[in-house]
Amino acid sequence: MPVVVVASSKGGAGKSTTAVLLGTELAHKGVPVTMLDCDPNRSLSIWADLGTLPENVRALNDVSESSIVKTIKQYDVDGAVVIVDLEGVASRMVSRAISQADLVLIPMRATTLDAKIGAQSLKLIAEEEEAINRKIAHAVVFTMTRAIRSKQQTGIETSLREAGIDIIEPPLMERAAFSALFEFGGNLHSMEKQGNMAAAIENAEAFAMAVYKRLTEALQ
């Protein structure tokens, strides 16, 4: 089943939040999910260690550059999804993980700086496609967005689409519940109410289903 790699060359872009929301929402729908923490900051592991993991979720952090491909293949089994949260630099581990991906998600905030640095991830994907001689599906995920799109975000989205870059809709909004996952653990469905919980769940579910749709398309 699918391997999703979450990659960005910029810290603070929302990689771990994207990975946790995607993994927990898919698991909540009954999909077995293995999450690999390959970021030295260990944000995913911090979340996982806060309490009992949600049902259908396994989290691993003992993954090295030499073991990343073997680990992905070990947990890439029928009916399951593997989600890889990568370090925020261009490295051999990042390249090796991308080479195994069915879909690469590139989180970025709606700023010119994030867009410029995000282009480095797009370039890295193109290099891996050339090296392994196959296309790797990929899409940008805007994170920490506001209800009303700024002119800057609209301009960035237009530029990306004109370049043929896929953009996940909906974006992940700036929500108290999303950041609270790294304070309380669990998932949005088990956590005590944080802000507008119903809107947060709706946003996360719609995002996860949009990603899942692309995964099914990528595997056809």
HEC string of 175-215? CHHHHHHHHHCCCCCCCCCCCCHHHHHHHHHHHHHHHHHHH
3-state secondary structure of 79: coil
Question: How much is the pLDDT for 219?
Answer: 73
Local confidence band at 216 (pLDDT 50, 70, 90 cut-offs): confident
For residue 69, pLDDT over 90 is answered with yes
Is a pLDDT exceeding 80 seen at residue 147? yes
Residue 90 clears pLDDT 90, i.e. is over it: no
Looking at every residue in the chain, the average pLDDT score rounds to: 93
pLDDT of 163 above 90: yes
Lowest mean pLDDT among 14-18, 99-103, 110-114, 130-134: 110-114
pLDDT at 200 (0 to 100):
97
pLDDT higher at 118 or 143: 143
Domains of the chain with CATH codes = 3-218 (3.40.50.300)
Cis peptide before 40 (omega within 30 of 0): no
Whole-structure pTM value: 0.95
